[in-house]
Chain A
Amino acid sequence: MKQNVIEFRNVSKLFGNVAAVIDNNLAVEAGEFLSILGPSGCGKTTSLRMMAGFEQPTSGEVYIRGENVTGVPAFRRPVNMVFQHYALFPHLSVQDNVSYGLRQRRPRPATADVAKAVDEALSMVRLDGYGSRRTYELSGGQQQRVALARALINRPAVLLLDEPLAALDRKLRRDMQVELQNLQRNVGITFLLVTHDQEEALSMSDRVCVMREGRLVQVGTPRELYDKPVNRYVAEFVGKSNFFKAGEAGKVTSVRPELIDVAKSKKALPDGLVTSTEAKVLNRIFLGEQTEYRVASESLGEFAVVTPRKAEREAGAFDIGDRIAVGWRAEAARLLPDE
């Protein structure tokens, strides 16, 4: 079994009467890239802040590297954080920002060693030669990297990332996702990312834990979460899904839009489908590499279907108002608790 670098044991956090985190047993494994995913107010940031030591749990314990650190203040914890808006020190140069952590150590490391470590850290985030710049002269992406270098130079037990890409534009965010992943592999430090962006969580992490209203709902690899969500909430939050009434009370049938087969007529549908029906195209959204249709059938109601562009080569695209046939295989449908 892998060792846990950070472990919550029945951690709860109340702010007045409001419970931000409830009976949480989150565990971060050594060397992994773990994401906490959830909408705002689900307790993911509070969890992160309890790991960093900015908040203390109302009940339960926090362990870092097997040591109980409950009640230990932030400056004595071996973890570092990349803040949402970076929180770079405006009165210090880039190198003084990056060396800040090392300069807090007692005994103080030699100046030459600090300078060397700073150069290495800056080179790691591809900011060689930026040491003497002022932080406000840098672009958002560069500031982000300074924040990363400033945290990583301390070789933390876990690097905590609080929505680090939220302030960047779309294109830059994509680049940084790849860069973060590479960085994590190269430095071998455990990364814990907090995000509300499911795509970010799925694309970067080894494991994702989905939170809802202070509780852990599911922890697993991105593939597990997508293919085997434990309930409707996870299926809805991780990717898109259609939900149909199921025979059992309190349950729904979930079918991913891209797992639905589409054809011009029932005869043209492939064999082996458990459900097939005729439907009418209500709407078509062109998404580039794929096309999303909104369709309606008498028996199932309205739902979404996604087809790859490749499929259009034979059948062509459907138009609004077309009558088509849809169906799916048994394994595409998952019976989930409706919660």
Chain B
Amino acid sequence: MTAALLAPAGVFFLFLLIIPLAVVLVFSFGERAPAGGYAAAFTFDNYLNLPARSKAFINTLTLAPLGTLLTAIIAFPVAYFLAVKVSPRWRVTMLVLIMAPFWTSQLLRYYAWIMLLGAKGIPSWLALIGITDVRLINTPWAVLIGAVYGFLPLMVPPIYVSLEKLDKRLLEASADLGATPVSTFFQITLPLALPGVATGSMLVFILLMGDYILPQYLGGGKVFFIGNALVDLFLQSRNWPFGAAVSVALVLIMLVTIYAYMRFVLSRGDRRRAALV
């Protein structure tokens, strides 16, 4: 019975995750065929060649964590407001409104930001008040703004859920024991909401690490991620083995960061609750 229930997911993972991963792994040790694509071989050259793409790795590994952090910092007060201050009648409505941007295509939204951040957008308005020579589009700032904008709706709900579960009497107990509102926030609210922050951050971080549309549009090819490097390697230069090696490196980096991060969160927050997330 259990086996039967697990079968669909098992087949799914086998054909769409494990086998493709194995293929990528095998490819990463191969050679580029003269006409592009894969030729069987066993060499570490592709891995030794990784530094050639270090810029993509550096960009991804700085902007993805930074974007996640920014999103979490901006999402937390929103989630707190929803969970604590807004009357239950309006909560669902407001949550839906936060999700509303998802109703339009991601591409359209990025095009809107290209306009906003471009020379005729925000920089031109800033010029009106005397702040000139501001460049936003095709800079890391544009990518960060896009990250926060695009992923905020994913970050708010998990934090909201953990804050909503938070027993408000604990906050009273903390105040009763002499903790100022700020201390209460850092000693009670934040640690107890940490599982939600961790879940939201994981979601956003994983998506950002693998993203290529965001840097493509708002980074304009100047601020590129590993995802852009992959598109370039597989579709343009058709160097599949090197692309495979870059992919394997990306997967490994993600595994290590996520593992380290979860370990950290679990050691800090309420173990029992964090384990449920």
Using a CB–CB cutoff of 8 Å, the interface residues on chain A facing chain B are 52-54, 73-76, 79-81, 83, 85, 87-91, 100-101, 104-105, 134, 136, 150-151, 154
Using a CB–CB cutoff of 8 Å, the interface residues on chain B facing chain A are 167, 169-170, 172-181, 183-184, 187-188, 191-192, 269-270, 272-273
Report whether A89 and B170 are in contact in the complex, using a CB–CB cutoff of 8 Å.
yes
CA distance A54 to B183 in the complex (A): 17
Other A-B pairs beyond A76-B178, A101-B178, 11, CB < 8 Å? A54-B175, A54-B176, A75-B176, A81-B176, A87-B170, A88-B173, A90-B273, A104-B177, A104-B183, A105-B178, A136-B272
What would 25 A/B residue contacts be, using CB atoms closer than 8 Å? A74-B172, A75-B179, A79-B176, A80-B176, A80-B177, A83-B173, A85-B169, A87-B169, A87-B173, A88-B173, A89-B170, A89-B174, A90-B192, A90-B270, A90-B272, A90-B273, A91-B192, A91-B270, A100-B174, A101-B177, A104-B179, A104-B183, A136-B272, A150-B177, A154-B177
Residue of A52, A100, A101 with most partner-chain B CB within 10 A: A100
Residues of A contacting B272 in the complex (Cβ-Cβ under 8 angstroms): 90, 134, 136
Give the shortest distance, in Å, between A98 (CB) and chain B (any CB). Answer: 10
CA distance A179 to B48 in the complex (A): 72
CA distance A134 to B270 in the complex (A): 10
Q: Which of A88, A136, A154 is close to B178, meaning CB atoms less than 8 Å apart?
A: A154
CA distance A79 to B184 in the complex (A): 17
Residues of A contacting B172 in the complex (Cβ-Cβ under 8 angstroms): 52, 54, 74, 83, 87
Known: A75-B178, A101-B178, A104-B178. A89 touches B173 (CB 8 A): yes
Q: List the 10 closest pairs (A to B, CB-CB), nearest first.
A: A91-B270, A101-B177, A104-B178, A87-B173, A74-B175, A87-B169, A75-B175, A104-B179, A81-B176, A91-B191
Residues of A contacting B169 in the complex (Cβ-Cβ under 8 angstroms): 83, 85, 87
Residues of A contacting B167 in the complex (Cβ-Cβ under 8 angstroms): 87
Give the shortest distance, in Å, between A221 (CB) and chain B (any CB). Answer: 29
A-B contact count (CB 8 A): 68
Residues of B contacting A89 in the complex (Cβ-Cβ under 8 angstroms): 170, 173-174, 188
Report whether B175 and A73 are in contact in the complex, using a CB–CB cutoff of 8 Å.
yes
CA distance A80 to B176 in the complex (A): 6
Give the shortest distance, in Å, between B189 (CB) and chain A (any CB). Answer: 11
Give the shortest distance, in Å, between B176 (CB) and chain A (any CB). Answer: 5
Residues of A contacting B270 in the complex (Cβ-Cβ under 8 angstroms): 90-91
Give the shortest distance, in Å, between A185 (CB) and chain B (any CB). Answer: 24
Chain B's closest residue to A100 (CB) is: B177
Residues of B contacting A100 in the complex (Cβ-Cβ under 8 angstroms): 174, 177, 179, 187
Give the shortest distance, in Å, between A84 (CB) and chain B (any CB). Answer: 8
CA distance A106 to B72 in the complex (A): 31
Give the shortest distance, in Å, between B164 (CB) and chain A (any CB). Answer: 15
Chain B's closest residue to A136 (CB) is: B272
Chain A's closest residue to B178 (CB) is: A104
Chain A's closest residue to B192 (CB) is: A91
Known: A87-B167, A91-B192. A81 touches B178 (CB 8 A): no
Residues of B contacting A134 in the complex (Cβ-Cβ under 8 angstroms): 272
Give the shortest distance, in Å, between B186 (CB) and chain A (any CB). Answer: 12
CA distance A206 to B153 in the complex (A): 57
Residues of A contacting B177 in the complex (Cβ-Cβ under 8 angstroms): 75, 80, 100-101, 104, 150-151, 154
Give the shortest distance, in Å, between B269 (CB) and chain A (any CB). Answer: 6
CA distance A76 to B181 in the complex (A): 11
Q: Which of A75, A101, A154 is close to B180, meaning CB atoms less than 8 Å apart?
A: A75
Residue of B172, B176, B181, B183 with most partner-chain A CB within 10 A: B176
Residues of A contacting B188 in the complex (Cβ-Cβ under 8 angstroms): 89
Q: Which of A76, A81, A91 is close to B173, meaning CB atoms less than 8 Å apart?
A: A81
Chain B's closest residue to A137 (CB) is: B272
Residues of B contacting A76 in the complex (Cβ-Cβ under 8 angstroms): 178
Give the shortest distance, in Å, between B48 (CB) and chain A (any CB). Answer: 46
CA distance A73 to B188 in the complex (A): 18
Residues of B contacting A80 in the complex (Cβ-Cβ under 8 angstroms): 176-177
Chain A's closest residue to B272 (CB) is: A136
CA distance A105 to B269 in the complex (A): 23
Chain A's closest residue to B269 (CB) is: A91
CA distance A88 to B192 in the complex (A): 13
Residues of B contacting A105 in the complex (Cβ-Cβ under 8 angstroms): 178
Q: Which of B174, B176, B191, B273 is close to A52, meaning CB atoms less than 8 Å apart?
A: B176
Give the shortest distance, in Å, between A288 (CB) and chain B (any CB). Answer: 38
Residues of B contacting A52 in the complex (Cβ-Cβ under 8 angstroms): 172, 176
Residues of A contacting B187 in the complex (Cβ-Cβ under 8 angstroms): 100
Chain B's closest residue to A79 (CB) is: B176
CA distance A85 to B172 in the complex (A): 12
CA distance A80 to B270 in the complex (A): 25
Residues of B contacting A136 in the complex (Cβ-Cβ under 8 angstroms): 272
Residues of A contacting B179 in the complex (Cβ-Cβ under 8 angstroms): 75, 100, 104
Residues of A contacting B170 in the complex (Cβ-Cβ under 8 angstroms): 87, 89-90
Chain A's closest residue to B184 (CB) is: A75
CA distance A258 to B167 in the complex (A): 46
Residues of A contacting B175 in the complex (Cβ-Cβ under 8 angstroms): 53-54, 73-75
CA distance A321 to B167 in the complex (A): 56
CA distance A58 to B170 in the complex (A): 25
Residues of B contacting A81 in the complex (Cβ-Cβ under 8 angstroms): 173, 176
CA distance A295 to B173 in the complex (A): 51
Give the shortest distance, in Å, between A9 (CB) and chain B (any CB). Answer: 23
